[in-house]
C-alpha cells in the first residue's frame, strides 16, 4: 500500500457501496473507500494509504447523514470487526444485499425472470456459532476475550454480543473474570460457541491441558450460570494435538442436534452448520418447494455437509446421493441416515473435479451448496449428464454468477432466484437459484 500522512483530510460525497458494504466516493479520477459511510452522505475522512488505485480512508465525521442511517445498538461496534452494517437500517440492509447480488448477476449477463422475496428472520440474537479470541496479557496480567478489531489482529474486549443468543453463560465480562482465576489462564486461546436446539456447547481451545482444579472451577462456575428456561450447557476442550474436541462436562451428555424439516440432525462441535437457525429452516423448505423432489427420482446433494439438505430430500425421494469431501462428515451422514431410516447414500469425493461423480447414477435433479470458491470443478459433469433441474445455493454471489454463466451458456435457464439473509448486520448474503434445462426444439 502506498503510504499517506494521517493528517491528510478530505470532504467527500459517497455515491454507493462496495460488495463489502464500504462507502465509495469519487473525486476527479481518484476513488475512495470509506468504511462506515452510506450513499448520499457527505463525510470527512483521513487518508490511510493507497492500494490498487483506490484510496483507503478512515471516517472522521458525517456532515450530512443518510436518512437510512441508524445508531448501532452494539456498544462495541466502533472497534469490533464482527458486524459491519449495524449503522444501516435493517430494511436497507436487505435492499443493499439484493442489489449486490443483482449486480454480480448482471456482470455475467444473467437475467432472473422471477425474484422471490428475501428470506429473513429476527436481525438480532440469531447466531448459532461463533469463535471468540482469548489472549492473556502478561504486562497487564489480565485476559482479553472478544473478536478481532476491523482490519486488525488485535482483540477488542466485549461484554455481550448482540447477534449471539441471550444466555447467562455468554456474558464475556464474567468469562474474563473467571479465566483470570485459573492457573492455566495463559493457555486458553479461543472460546467457541455452538448453539444447538438441545444445548449450548462451549469449546475451549487450549495450548496445554488444564489442571483438575481449573476444570473443576470452570464446571462449578458454569453450573451456577444455568437459569430456569435457559439452554443446558456442555463444556468441551480441544488442544492442538487432538483431532476433535473432547467433552468435559456433563458426562455423559445428549448428542447435540438441530431440527431441520422436523429431523433431529446431529452435529459435532467442529461441524459446519448454517449460523442462523430460523433462516436455515426457511431456506431448506424453500429448496424443497422449488426443487419438487419426486419419490422415484435420483437426486444428488453436492457439498452435502452433515445433511442439512440431504436428509429432508431423502424423506421425499427414494435415492438421494449425498456427496461430501470430508470423510468424517460422510461417516456421520451414513450413521444418521441409518438412525433416521432414510434412503440416503453418502459418498466421499473431491468436488474440485469430476472424478468422484462419474460412478453415480444419472440424477433428475442436483442441489449444489458449495463453499465460497464455488463449484467450477463439477460444471462439466453436470453438463454432460444433462441434469434437468439444478438448485444452486451460494454464499458468494460472484462465484455463483460465474458458474451460472457456464450453465446458461450450455442451455440452462434461470427459473427463479432469491436471497437469504443468513447474516443480518453484516454484508454477507446467501442466494438460491433454480435452473432448468431448456427443451430442444425440433424441425
149: its cell numbers: 478489531
Nearest CA-CA partner of 64 in 44, 87, 94, 79: 44
Residue 162 C-alpha from the chain's centroid? 16
Please list, in sequence order, all residues whose beta carbon lies within 8 angstroms of the beta carbon of residue 25, skipping any fewer than 6 positions away: 12, 13, 14, 15, 31, 32, 34, 37, 43
- Which run of H or of E encompasses 62? strand 54-64
395 counts as catalytic:
yes
How, if at all, do strands 188-195 and 233-239 pair? unpaired
Rounded Cα distance, 234 and 218, in Å: 11
Radius of gyration of the chain (CA): 24
Nine-digit cell string for 415: 427459473
Query: Is residue 311 a contact partner of residue 276, using CB atoms and an 8 Å limit?
Result: no
Q: Does the annotation flag 369 for ligand binding?
A: yes
* Catalytic, out of 80, 83, 161, 395: 395
Q: Was 99 annotated as part of a binding site?
A: no
Alpha helices in 202-249 (DSSP H): 212-225
Phi-psi sector, 94: left (phi>0), alpha (psi -120 to 50), beta: alpha
Burial of 257 (0-12, 13-18, 19+ CB in 10 A): middle
Q: Is 303 annotated as a binding residue?
A: yes
Burial class (CB in 10 A: 0-12, 13-18, 19+), 340: middle
Cell of 416: 427463479
Which residues have a catalytic role annotated?
A: 395
Residues in binding site: 274, 303, 324, 369
Give the annotated binding-site residues for S-adenosyl-L-methionine: 274, 303, 324, 369
Amino acid at each position: 500500500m502506498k503510504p499517506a500522512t494521517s493528517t491528510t483530510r478530505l470532504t467527500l460525497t459517497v455515491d454507493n457501496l462496495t460488495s463489502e458494504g464500504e462507502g465509495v466516493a469519487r473525486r476527479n479520477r481518484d476513488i475512495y473507500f470509506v468504511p462506515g459511510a452510506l450513499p448520499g452522505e457527505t463525510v470527512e475522512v483521513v487518508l490511510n494509504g493507497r492500494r490498487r488505485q483506490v484510496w483507503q480512508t478512515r471516517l472522521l465525521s458525517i456532515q450530512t447523514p443518510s436518512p437510512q442511517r441508524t445508531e448501532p445498538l452494539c456498544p462495541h461496534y466502533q472497534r469490533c470487526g464482527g458486524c459491519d452494517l449495524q449503522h444501516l437500517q435493517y430494511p436497507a440492509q436487505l435492499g443493499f444485499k439484493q442489489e449486490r447480488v443483482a449486480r454480480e448477476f448482471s456482470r455475467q449477463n444473467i437475467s432472473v425472470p422471477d425474484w422471490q422475496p428475501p428470506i429473513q428472520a429476527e436481525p438480532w440474537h440469531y447466531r448459532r456459532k461463533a469463535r471468540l479470541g482469548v489472549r492473556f496479557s502478561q504486562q497487564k496480567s489480565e485476559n482479553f476475550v472478544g473478536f478481532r478489531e476491523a482490519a486488525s489482529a488485535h482483540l477488542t474486549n466485549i461484554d455481550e454480543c448482540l447477534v449471539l443468543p441471550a444466555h447467562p453463560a455468554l456474558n464475556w465480562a464474567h468469562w474474563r473474570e473467571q479465566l483470570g482465576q485459573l492457573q492455566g489462564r495463559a493457555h486458553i486461546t479461543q472460546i467457541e460457541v455452538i448453539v444447538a436446539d438441545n444445548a449450548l456447547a462451549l469449546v475451549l481451545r487450549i495450548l496445554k491441558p488444564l489442571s483438575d482444579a481449573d476444570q473443576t472451577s470452570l464446571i462449578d462456575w458454569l453450573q451456577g450460570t444455568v437459569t430456569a428456561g435457559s439452554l443446558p450447557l456442555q463444556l468441551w476442550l480441544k488442544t492442538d494435538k487432538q483431532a476433535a474436541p473432547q467433552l468435559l462436562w456433563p458426562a455423559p451428555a445428549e448428542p447435540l442436534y438441530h431440527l431441520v424439516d422436523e429431523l433431529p440432525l446431529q452435529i459435532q462441535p467442529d461441524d459446519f452448520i448454517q449460523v442462523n437457525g430460523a433462516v436455515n429452516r426457511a431456506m431448506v423448505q424453500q429448496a424443497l418447494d422449488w426443487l419438487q423432489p419426486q419419490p422415484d427420482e435420483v437426486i444428488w446433494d453436492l457439498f452435502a455437509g452433515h445433511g442439512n439438505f440431504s436428509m429432508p430430500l431423502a424423506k421425499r425421494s427414494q435415492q438421494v446421493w449425498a456427496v461430501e469431501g470430508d470423510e468424517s462428515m460422510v461417516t456421520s451422514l451414513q450413521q444418521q441416515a441409518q438412525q433416521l431410516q432414510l434412503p440416503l447414500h453418502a459418498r466421499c469425493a473431491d468436488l474440485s473435479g469430476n472424478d468422484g461423480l462419474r460412478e453415480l447414477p444419472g440424477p433428475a435433479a442436483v442441489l449444489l451448496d458449495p463453499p465460497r470458491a464455488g463449484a467450477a470443478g463439477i460444471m462439466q459433469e453436470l453438463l454432460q449428464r444433462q441434469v434437468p433441474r439444478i438448485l444452486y445455493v451460494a454464499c458468494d454471489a460472484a462465484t455463483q454468477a460465474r458458474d451460472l454463466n457456464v450453465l446458461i451458456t450450455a442451455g440452462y435457464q434461470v427459473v427463479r432466484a432469491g436471497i437469504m439473509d443468513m447474516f443480518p448486520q453484516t454484508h454477507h448474503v446467501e442466494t438460491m437459484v433454480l435452473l432448468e434445462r431448456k427443451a430442444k426444439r425440433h424441425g
